[in-house]
Amino acid sequence: DWTMGAYREEAIQKIRDQVGDAKVICGLSGGVDSSVAAVLIHEAIGDNLTCVFVDHGLLRQGEADEVVTMFRDHYNIPLIHADERDLFLGELDGVSDPEVKRKTIGRLFIDVFQKHANDIEGAAYLAQGTLYPDVIESVSFSGGPSVTIKSHHNVGGLPEKMGLKLVEPLRELFKDEVRALGRELGLPESFIGRHPFPGPGLAIRCPGEITPEKLEILRKADAIFIDQIRKHGLYDEIWQAFVALLPVRTVGVMGDGRTYDYACAMRAVTSVDGMTADYYPFSHDFLGETATRIINEVRGINRVTYDVTSKPPGTIEWE
């Protein structure tokens, strides 16, 4: 009968068969998927694996430090911390179209991996934590017509010029199975339970043009929303929660002054696999308290809304 323990052994053997003595680089995003992929591959091939964590300037508050600390200190997996904030934010300057954002980010990720692969002698493979739903959603949508809803930057193969082959050990798994595999591999529960975070990061939670100022405002509001969810003990009931910063300023009043600041939207959904989702039914007390905190604590936001769209017809991310 089928167990995660057996799956783990099988997956490790498959990785060894595929890559042999070659060196592998693994793009680490800090999310559960790429972390589980990295730990699994490390079990299979040891230090022939090098992880590359790209800070594209689109991460959440404190995220880069958390990821680097966890991998360097707890796992002893060779890790390159690539600070590419200027590169990504520079190329995204003035870009507002969602697909152009996604494709730009995908292309830059490949450039950065390529640069690091060139420095590692014998590097022949790039590993990614691609899951089954990523594979399907990039091709068609819930049995509907074959249209691309969103270009996931981590699917679709690699440009030939990169000269690297793909290793995707999680390609047949759904999220709950990846979490079970992560537990089997001994990853800490606090890490396994983390909400998913998309490769393009805050870029797709900031509709319209991205600026460093907007990203800073978004980070602060997002951190408060997550803090509230944790304080109320709701984190584990929710599939994913985040704030999107809206590209619109509205008029408000604070003290006896007029404000003209950004509006934001809180988004929280329940889901089993990310393919369909329902908005989370927070109490009005929770919503009111959180909105008040965001407006009081974040300079630059004077209006908070809650997104009550399910998927379909919405998607989880705003872009």
Tokens of 170: 């999680």
**208 interacts with ligand XMP by CB under 6 A:** no
Q: Which two tokens stand for residue 73?
A: 């200190």
Residue 23 C-beta-side C-alpha neighbours within 13 Å: 14
Determine if residue 34 is labeled as part of a ligand binding site.
yes
Q: How far is the CB of 153 from ligand XMP (least distance, A)?
A: 5
Nearer to ligand XMP by Cβ, of 18 and 310: the residue is 310
Which residue of 101, 152, 205, 220 would you call a contact of ligand XMP, by CB under 6 A? 152
Binders of ligand XMP among residues 236 to 265 (CB under 6 A) are 240
- Which is closer to ligand XMP, CB of 109 or CB of 125? 109
Burial class (CB in 10 A: 0-12, 13-18, 19+), 295: buried
Q: Measured in whole angstroms, how far is the alpha carbon of residue 275 from the centre of its chain? A: 15
Alpha-carbon distance of 38 to 14, in angstroms, equals: 14
Q: According to the binding rule CB under 6 A, does residue 154 interact with ligand XMP?
A: yes
In whole angstroms, how close is the CB of 108 to ligand XMP at the nearest point? 13
Over the window 36 to 65, marking each residue x when it contacts ligand XMP by CB under 6 A and - when it does not, the resulting string is ------------------------------
Sheet strand arrangement including 79-83:
79-83, 49-55, 23-28, 123-127, 165-167
Stretch that binds ligand XMP, among 37-45, 149-157, 216-224, 290-298 (CB under 6 A): 149-157
What are the angstrom distances between the C-alpha of 8 and each of 3, 22, 51, 84, 108? 9, 21, 20, 34, 32
* Residue 31 assigned as binding residue: yes
Is 30 annotated as ligand-binding? yes
317 is an interface residue for ligand XMP by CB under 6 A: yes
96 appears as a binding residue in the annotation: no
**Closer of 56 and 152 to ligand XMP (Cβ):** 152
Both structure tokens of 95: 């870009």
Select from 77-85, 114-122, 281-289, 309-317 the region that touches ligand XMP (CB under 6 A).
309-317
Tokens of 275: 């393919």
207 touches ligand XMP by CB under 6 A: no
315 binds ligand XMP (CB under 6 A): yes
Could you list the beta-strand ranges (E) of the chain: 23-28, 49-55, 79-83, 123-127, 165-167, 240-254, 257-270, 278-279, 301-306
Flag whether 32 is marked binding. yes
Binding mask 178-197 vs ligand XMP (x if CB under 6 A, - otherwise)?
Answer: ------------------x-
Half-sphere exposure of 176 (CA within 13 A, CB side): 7
Q: How far apart are CA 63 and CA 30, in angstroms?
A: 8
Answer whether 132's CB lies under 8 Å from 173's CB: yes
- Candidates 200, 243, 262, 303; binder of ligand XMP (CB under 6 A) is 200
Annotated binding site for ATP: 29-35
Residue numbers of the site for ligand XMP (CB under 6 A)?
150, 152-154, 196, 198-200, 240, 274, 311, 315-317
